[in-house]
Amino acid sequence: MWNQAYRKIDDAEAGGRLLYPMMLERPEMRWAFIRKIYSIVVIQLLATIAVAATVVTVHPIAHFFVSTGTGFALYIVLIITPFITLCPLYYYHQRHPVNYLLLGVFTISLAFAVGLTCAFTSGKVILESVILTAVVVVALTLYTFWAARRGHDFNFLGPFLFGAVIVLMVFSLIQIFFPLGKLSVMIYGGLASIIFCGYIVYDTDNLIKRYSYDEYIWAAIALYLDIINLFLSLLTILRAADS
């Protein structure tokens, strides 16, 4: 099934040249790789939900982070820890179990940051964001697999999505130094939601066609970040609307 789809792409775009060599492997091997990635992502999401729920429900935790100098410093450390963890992950992403330990640090620290973001948000807004995120992720994943089966390719989205993320970063910096009000926050959240929907399609397409077996850590991180960022973007929109 997959071989036929990608041979169509080869014929149309590369004159018979192998565009995605890994797709010539046995289909069951690729499906095993895909199942492994989604198993890792599900575990990451469950850990994130558990940690974030603890931060939200145990109020002294959030109070400590926002009311004390030590808590604020620790909050900054939690924010930068995922980025710092990516550096050793680059060198040890194939070394078991070090790669899983680093992935755990990455996930837990990011989960704390997500929990602190949700700590001062109403439960209704959080639930709506979770439901919307789940529906969108499932729908886009199914669509991407359906499109890949028919030979469609989404690699062209890469440069556009990268440029859009740069715009989002500049926009967020402007918001920090020159707040533009609730409407601009909602616009930012809407644009971010669209961009990370595109990233879910793009990274799922890469998972099907381009990631090799030793890149399972990076594939899981990419999908996990897409889902978390989509959730935070929707949370931004709904929280601004609710206020």
How confident is the model over 133-137, as a mean pLDDT?
A: 96
pLDDT digits (tens, 9 = 90+) for 48-65: 999 999 988 888 887 887
- Mean pLDDT (whole number) for 92-110: 88
Q: Which residue, 8, 124, 108, 98, is CA-closest to 50?
A: 108
Interatomic CA distance for residues 229 and 226, integer angstroms: 5
- Report which of residues 92 and 163 the model is more confident about: 163
The better pLDDT of the pair 3, 229 is held by 229
CB-based burial label for 188 (10 Å; 0-12, 13-18, 19+):
buried
CA–CA distance, 100 with 50 (Å, rounded to integer)? 18
- Count of structural domains, the chain: 1
Show the domain range for 136.
Answer: 2-242
CB within 8 Å of 104: residues ≥ 6 apart: 47
Longest dimension (CA), the chain: 63
- What pLDDT sits at residue 25? 62
Residues 218-240 have a mean pLDDT of 93
Q: Is the pLDDT of residue 147 over 50?
A: yes
Instruction: State how far the Cα of 154 lies from the Cα of 47, in Å rounded to an integer.
Output: 30
Mean pLDDT of the chain: 84
pLDDT at residue 141 above 60? yes
- 81 vs 4, more confident: 81
Looking at residue 75, its pLDDT comes to 80
* Helix %, strand %, coil % of the chain (to 5): 85, 0, 15
Give the pLDDT band (50/70/90) at residue 20.
low
> Cβ distance 226 to 199 under 8 Å?
yes
What pTM does this model have? 0.85
Instruction: Answer yes or no: is pLDDT of 88 > 70.
Output: yes
Summarised one tens digit per residue, pLDDT across range 150-199 is 888 898 998 999 999 998 888 888 877 777 777 888 888 899 999 999 99
Residue 173 in contact with residue 224, Cβ under 8 Å? no
Segment 206-211 mean pLDDT: 86
pLDDT for the residue numbered 169:
86
CA 236 to chain centre: 16
Tokens representing 178 are 């020159």
